[in-house]
Each structure stands twice: as structure tokens, then as C-alpha cells.
Amino acid sequence: MTPAPSAFFDPAALDIDPDITRASTPDKAFYFDPAAWTMARERVFARSWQWAGGMARLAEPNSLVPIDLLPGCLDEPLLLVRDADHALRCLSNVCTHRGNVLVREPCRAEAIRCGYHSRRFDLQGRMTFMPEFQGACDFPSARDHLPRVPLETWQGQAFVSLSPAVPLQALMAEISARLSWLPIASFVEDPSRSRDYEFDAHWALYVENFLEGLHIPFVHPGLARSLELSAYESELYEHANLQLAIAREGDPAFDPPPGSPDHGRRIAAYYYWVFPNLMLNVYPWGLSLNVVQPLGPRRTRVLFRSYVRDPALLGEGAGGALDEVEMEDETVVLAVQRGVRSRLYTKGRYSPTRERGVHHFHRLLADAMKRP
Ligand code: FES
Ligand SMILES: [Fe+2]
């Protein structure tokens, strides 16, 4: 039977056996119970690091860039600031008077002025001026300044978190070490290759699909021709995992230098996933950065952003036909969205050899959902 939606989601539905050979996948209630969605928003996403765009927009002093953190999910108005001393910070973009959103468009300014009643803030977030408040007691106090939000950078990209469970560098440590020979920060963004995909499925179904190569020969015949699937590997880290794809002869591949653990191997792609919703696909042509944005229990948007290392390799090999592979993935994820609601389906099992990444995701998800 399909359980009725509840006001509270019991995270015991996400009890995942640590032994993959015995484990079952999450109870299907996780994918359509609105209470599970609300819990994931607060316990998973509000505590996670989220991509906030490239740093090029903040190169000049006194740059202000408003962002909407995870639109459709967290919907938090934030402001990225590069001040006159080149210091970078993230502030709330909500006026501490009556809640007006302060900065609507990227701009350069020495101060922030609210367009509603003209309250002013400096670029450190301190309130500096407010008309007609002379008689107000205990004013200004600390709560009249703009709250600061943790911001960190990785390879030229900004990341923010409302309430980080772990430091960003802890999430990225394995990736940075493994790819230390690759100057990712110098890859050049190509906005003409940006894509936003939206579809009617739960965000976690999309992530699960990303995290296994088991489906590649059945869902992606074109991609399968570029890869040595018998050599496909996955590695699990504390907060992230890697799928390592080896190129077939004749297809583009990295040739990692001596000192890299991959030296001597023809790497077609490093497919990294960082909990909960970031994918860093590193191909010989460059980086495809994907962000999975939950828009509700049945709707998801995925951002694709491209940073080019070698334009001559665009369109080739495993990282070539990304649109085609995405459509193939979306088609199967939409079918799973319909199937997982079935009265005749409750949960499934994992391939011990090929679905370790999916099992890892579910274990991290369960941990986050159970943390009060
Ligand atoms: S809401 Fe900003 S000054 Fe009133
Ligand atoms: Fe796929």
C-alpha cells in the first residue's frame, strides 16, 4: 500500500545496512512523502555547501553579486561581496529593518543602501545609517547588521553554506590531491555551453543514476563505445566519491604525470560527486560542473556549466555528447520516478560491485537526515 503523506518523516525509512551485500535501498516513501522533502531541505541542503558561481564576477574591488541560494529549495537571498581591500565575504541580502531584498543586480558600490527606507550598510555588513530612528532604544545593536554566511573557494569557484556540517576543504581534499597536476582554476568558462535541464523527478533519483556505471551499456550505447567498461572503477571518500572511466584506444584521454596514482592509465573521465548535489566531471577537454537543484518532491533542475581546458577536444570521447547522455539519463530517471511510486514496489538491492557509489550516497543521506 502507498502510505498516506505524514506531517513527520521517520528517517528510519533510510536505515541502510553498512554491508552492501545485505543492504536494501531506501524505502520508497523517501521519494514522495512531502515531509521527507521538507526534512531533506533543512537537514541536508541547509547544512551543505552550495556552488555560488565563478569568482570572475567578483574580480574588481567593491563588487556586489546577489545570489538566490538553491532557488526552489532554500530560496535564500545572499550577497557575495568583494570589498575595497579585496576581501571576499557573503552577507545576508535581506535588510535588517523590514526584510526588503537589498541588491537586485550585480553592481559595483562602496556601500549597500536599502531601496525601501534607505538603511545603509558598509561592505562588511555593518549598519551605518538609518533615517528617523533617533528615539529607538538600544539601536543599532548587533542584530541590525547583516548576518555573515560562510563562504569558501575552490579552484576559482565560490561555495557558501548557511550552516556547514563540515569545512568545504574537507569535502574537496581528495579531489584536490588527486588532480593537483591539473590547473582547473585556469580553465575558461564557455557560457555558450551552459545548460539548465528541468524534469519531473525527485532529485535523489537523478543523483543515484549518476553514481553508477552499471547502466551505461544499457542506457548510453554511444558513451559505452568510448569507455573500457571492464576497467570502470569507483572510489569512496568521506563526503564524496569518484568514478574513474578508462578510454578505449583512439579516444581522448588524460595522461597523468609521474606522481599521480593514475600515471600510465588512459583516463577518459574523472566523475566526482560531492555530497549532496555537486558533480565535477573532469574530461580531457575540461570541467563540466553540474549542480542538482531540488525544486520539490517531483521536480528537479540540473545546471551544467563548462570550463574549457583544450577546445580541440570538445565533442570527443566520453565528455563529447553530453546533451545526448543527459537526455538518456533523464528518460530513465523519469521512468523510475513513475515506478518507485508503485504499490507493488517498496525498495530494491544494490550490486555489490557496481553500485557502491549509490550505497555510499544513501548512507550519507541517512546520516544527514537523522542528525537533529
Ligand atoms: S526594509 Fe530596508 S530600510 Fe526598511
Ligand atoms: Fe547515465
pTM of the entire predicted model = 0.95
Ligand nearest, relative to CA of residue 100 = 1
How far, in Å, from the CA of 211 to the mean position of ligand 2?
A: 8
Q: Which residues, judged by CB distance below 6 Å to any ligand atom, belong to the binding site of ligand 1?
A: 95, 97-98, 100, 114, 116-119
Q: Please tell me the predicted confidence (pLDDT) of residue 162.
A: 98
Give the closest ligand to the alpha carbon of residue 215. 2
pLDDT digits (tens, 9 = 90+) for 182-209: 999 999 999 999 999 999 999 999 999 9
Measure 114 CA to ligand 1 centroid, in angstroms: 6
Q: For residue 19, what pLDDT is reported?
A: 98
Whole-number pLDDT of residue 230: 92
At 4 the pLDDT is 53
Ligand with smallest separation from the Cα of 322 = 2
Instruction: Give the residue whose CA is nearest to atom 3 of ligand 1.
Output: 117
Nearest residue by C-alpha to atom 1 in ligand 1: 98
pLDDT (0 to 100) of residue 318: 76
The ligand 1 atom nearest the CA atom of 118: 3
Ligand 1 atom closest to 95 (CA): 2
Q: How far is the CA of 120 from the centre of ligand 1 (A)?
A: 9
Output the CA 42–ligand 1 centroid distance in Å: 27
In this prediction, the residues of the chain whose per-residue pLDDT falls under 50 are 1-3
100, 52, 55, 114: which is closest to 82 by C-alpha? Answer: 55
Q: How many whole angstroms from 229 Cα to the centroid of ligand 2? A: 13
Q: Which atom of ligand 1 is nearest to the CA of 99?
A: 1
